[in-house]
Amino acid sequence: MTTFPDGFLWGAATASYQIEGAVREDGRVPSIWDVFSHTPGATDDGHTGDVACDHYHRYAEDVEIMAWLGLRAYRFSVAWPRLADLGFYDRLVDALLARGIAPVATLYHWDLPQDLQDEGGWTNRDTAYRFADYAGRVYDRLGDRVATWTTLNEPWVSAFVGYGSGRHAPGVSDPAAAFTAAHNLMLAHGLGVQALRAAGASSVSITLNLTPVLGDPGPARLVDGLANRLFLDPILRGQYPPDVLDHLSRFTEVNLDDLPVIAQPVDVLGVNYYTVNRVVADPAAEGTPEYPGSRGIAWEPPRGRPTEMGWEVAPSGLEDLLVRLAEEYPGVPLMVTENGAAVPDGVADPDRISYLESHFRAAHAALEKGADLRGYFVWSLLDNFEWARGYHMRFGLVRVDYDTLERTPRDSARWYRNVIARNGLPD
């Protein structure tokens, strides 16, 4: 048996806009994703999160599925646009606790209220202060029952896909805006941690999407700087890496006086891992607006058969990443807050099982090499609205029929249930 440590937190993850639906209920205000998804051409086939999985109304059934799976924890996000009425999250948290499932709440998984976007969104420093205020208010409502708080999900995506390439809401394409957004998101995180602690929170974290970069050393260093170190170093070390600061200074200026706020100690670092980046120097390459200043760098196609997202299946990247974090940023417990695969639809999903199995083994190998890994959340509990890719990408352990909204556990759900029950995998 490959056995995980006692108390290892096996879970599954979702996010508000991807599953809830009920976008006009109980005083919810529009978010940037409502506006963006209703913009012609923004998402595949014009899909929106208007109904999604209707989890807002079906959460009790979904919690029963989680209980059947044996989940020890469930990672969900609170929709900032629902701040006027947080009753839904009260009900959800109580249902989880009644089933012995630890709630892990993310405060920002990309659904910024549109009225804040109208004031500049994450390019406006004031949004960071508004976030801290929101964080404190959610804590006041749920803090007595939620064990672990996460400020932001994947600020790299918010900044560089939202404001760099514009492939995500709010659909802006401006490198200076992207770097400013990255900085203001980190400031929001730091201010949010302060607000949560002031309100009494004992376990606070942030989730980063971290992507190992393989290939020619120069391009790999640059892309690693923009994808990973741009966030890791300010948040965990209180400084921008000098090479990254030089690079971003070509586009904009950031206020370095914010660094002590950004570097508030965290109790856990959440890691979302899906794949690796492979880059090579190529003078003819245009680069990509998701990595501003990447002219002369080409991305190589995935090796082997990719997932439906087109992402290479690279479990060794997860092992390397966790070991690197343990060595370079010691003292911070780690949690895989997302990992999973979009595979062709069906209840039989052998490719998802083999993806998860290989990544669980990689995580175990990292544990054996000293990484302090505390838990693992599969993305995702349910098929859901996969942002710009709409409903075509199916990541669920549980299948959702979008005509009837019926849920059907896949083979991978049964398999995962066994992993959790045994706290490990047979050799």
By CB under 6 A, name the binding residues for ligand FCB.
Answer: 15, 18, 153-154, 157, 209, 272, 338, 379, 386-387, 395
CB of 394 to ligand FCB, least distance (A): 11
- CA 215 – CA 300 distance, rounded (Å): 9
The nearest distance, CB 308 to ligand FCB, in angstroms, is 11
Report in angstroms how near the CB of residue 243 gets to ligand FCB at its nearest.
25
Nearer to ligand FCB, 210 or 259 (CB): 210
Nearer to ligand FCB, 75 or 183 (CB): 75
The answer to whether the beta carbons of residues 356 and 399 sit under 8 Å apart is: no
Relative to beta strand 2-3, strand 424-425 is antiparallel
Q: Annotated catalytic residue: which of 20, 312, 319, 338? A: 338
Which one from 154, 312, 319, 386 is the annotated catalytic residue?
154
- Residue number with CB closer to ligand FCB (131 or 387): 387
Question: Measured from the CB atom, is 275 or 294 closer to ligand FCB?
Answer: 275
Q: Which of 323, 410, 319, 305 is nearest to 371 (CA)?
A: 323
Tell me the closest approach of the beta carbon of residue 342 to ligand FCB, in angstroms. Answer: 7
Give 210 or 235: the residue with its C-beta nearer to ligand FCB. Answer: 210
- How many residues comprise the chain? 427
- CB 356, min distance to ligand FCB, A: 14
Of residues 103 and 136, the one with the C-beta less far from ligand FCB: 103
Annotated catalytic, 368?
no
292 versus 396: smaller Cβ distance to ligand FCB: 396
Is residue 286 part of the annotated active site? The answer reads: no
Contact 149, 201 (CB under 8 A): yes
* Phi, psi for residue 105 in degrees, rounded to 5: -105, 130
Least distance in Å: CB of 17 to ligand FCB? 9
Angle at 283 between CA 277 and CA 285, to 5 degrees: 50
Q: Which residues make beta-bridge pairs with 105?
A: 76, 149
CB of 111 to ligand FCB, least distance (A): 11
The CA R_g of the chain, rounded to the nearest whole Å, is: 20
Query: Closest Cα to residue 342, out of 391, 282, 295, 300?
Result: 391
Compute the distance between CA of residue 108 and CA of residue 136 in angstroms, rounded to an integer.
13
Residues belonging to the active site: 154, 338
